[in-house]
Chain A
Amino acid sequence: MGTRTVIPFGPQHPVLPEPVHLDLVMEDERIVDAIPSLGYVHRGLEKLAAKKDFNDMVFVSERICGICSFIHSLAYSTAIETIMKVEVPERAQYLRVMWAEMSRVHSHLLWLGLAADALGYESLFMHSWRVREKVLDVIEETSGGRVIFGTCKIGGVRRDVEPAVLEKTLKELETIEFECSEIVHVFAGDPSVHRRVAGVGVLSKDDAYALGAVGPTLRASGVNWDARKLGYAAYGKLEWEPVVETGCDILARVLVRAKEIFQSIKLIRQAIQKMPAGPVEVRVTGNPSGETITRVEQPRGELVYHIQANGTKNLARFRVRTPTFANIPPLVKMLPGCELADVPIIVLSIDPCISCTER
């Protein structure tokens, strides 16, 4: 056994847009152990729920994350609607799918850009983010916002989308799909990308499941699990299957996210085409009383909202378990045996969202 050295990785590091820390125990250039630390920007939003009206918490939950903002508000609204037994209008359910999948497309393009940047592939980074801007334009056209959509509410959605705008969205999706195919072609086929990520950051199928991995990190290890299969919003009425890869390495995570972009575009198309006419919200009165554990699929994986309400305007408990939090033990498992130079891209491969985790 060689001399062991502990190298701190983070909380500030070029590959980390947000602070997280790892103590890397090294033998020469090889990692033998990794110990994570969190909490540099913890905001205590769960405690805020004890003071805020449960209706206002829709806005708080949407601000937990700047990337999957809409999906947080969707999860929270779905949880309260489950407790209050609210029947959400069908059109609102399809609109929720449309916006959730737009979030997934822009999140995955953002991640592909960051991954390209970490690989030193600057032009691919810029192309990924150029296409992402087009997705943000579509989000702005349909919701009025680019980061915070502000459309989800308890009982439905806050605004409808005109048929002409939906038609325009379908046309825009054709362009976005074509341009994504050009980017994904590079990720899937470029030998320099393959040499950098194939066989790196391996997480076996058994480890992924046993350690509670979620999202693309879980599916890239060969486990067929996607919270959208629970059928919330209108997912139960659409034709789709989870994207699963069996490589168990970073390349497999790249491929899962790349394929999910096209899957999301198909889901948006289906949602628009199957969307019935009708109201987009129902009036909800009274205070919730009861409990639910609601699960939805964020771009990074399964998001859990545990809500307990006691009949007052304040919730007894507002608990959010984010996908990045669940993916920390799998990340710790991926690192031992790897080279120090591989750490940044391995950390990036779980698509860490610290602002979610530090809710």
Chain B
Amino acid sequence: MSDEQSIELVERNQLPGKTAELKAGGWRIVQISSVPVADGQEITYSFDKEYRLKSLRTTVPDADPVLPTITGAYFAAFTYENELQDLLGLKVQGLPLDFKGNFYRKAMNAPLASAKPDGKAG
């Protein structure tokens, strides 16, 4: 069995609808992760079905660091979305269980927001 992976680029506002479709299609949530890009963060939502990995990817600009929650489709995403708020400084709108930046106890706010690929602080 091979590790078949695909990535679909989506707009932020499409996330609730796209994830609802995946949930209805029987996909299991695997992870939400981020990669720093020049002017923001690339957020990747990964799902599994029968050992296939499908990811939705959207870009969140530093100037408007807001994302809609996907907990309407996947309640388990609340842990990942609180992580996005705590480690990246993003704001996830509509989170039903919002720790308001206190999911992790940390020495600095949004530590991964500054990890830009060019080494400069973000």
Task: Give chain A's interface residues, CB within 8 Å of chain B.
Answer: 35-40, 42, 44, 46-47, 50, 209-212, 225, 229-232, 236, 291-295, 302, 304, 306, 308, 310, 316-317, 319, 321, 325-326, 328-330
Contact = CB atoms under 8 A, between A and B. Distances in A.
Nearest to B27: A209
B46 A212 contact: no
A38 B3 contact: no
B44 to A, nearest CB: 7
A295 B53 CA distance: 10
Given A38-B103, A319-B33, A293 B46 contact: yes
A232 B3 contact: yes
Nearest to B55: A293
A236 B3 CA distance: 11
Contacts of A44: 106, 111
Interface in B1-47: 1-3, 5, 23, 28-31, 33-36, 44, 46
Closest 3 CB pairs of A and B: A39-B104, A329-B76, A321-B31
A78 to B, nearest CB: 10
Contacts of B1: 229-231, 236
A328 B79 CA distance: 8
A50 B115 contact: yes
Interface of B: 1-3, 5, 23, 28-31, 33-36, 44, 46, 48, 51, 53, 55, 74-76, 78-79, 86-87, 97, 99, 102-106, 111-112, 115, 117, 119
Contacts of B5: 292-293
22 contacts: A36-B79, A38-B104, A39-B105, A39-B106, A42-B105, A210-B76, A211-B76, A212-B29, A212-B30, A212-B76, A225-B48, A230-B3, A230-B51, A231-B1, A293-B5, A293-B53, A304-B30, A304-B33, A317-B35, A319-B33, A321-B30, A329-B79
Contacts of B28: 209-210, 212, 225
Which secondary structure dominates chain B's binding surface?
A: mixed
Contacts, number: 103
A310 B119 CA distance: 12
Nearest to A218: B28
A321 B46 CA distance: 11
A46 B55 CA distance: 21
B74 A47 contact: no
B35 A316 contact: yes
Contacts of B46: 293, 304, 306
Contacts of B53: 293, 295
Given A230-B1, A302-B30, A325-B79, 12 more contacts: A36-B79, A37-B103, A38-B103, A39-B104, A210-B75, A210-B76, A212-B76, A230-B3, A293-B44, A295-B53, A306-B35, A329-B79
B112 to A, nearest CB: 6
B75 A211 contact: yes
Nearest to A316: B117
B122 to A, nearest CB: 12
A238 to B, nearest CB: 13
Contacts of B55: 293
Contact of B74 (A212, A231, A236, A306): A212
Contacts of B23: 210
Contacts of A229: 1, 51
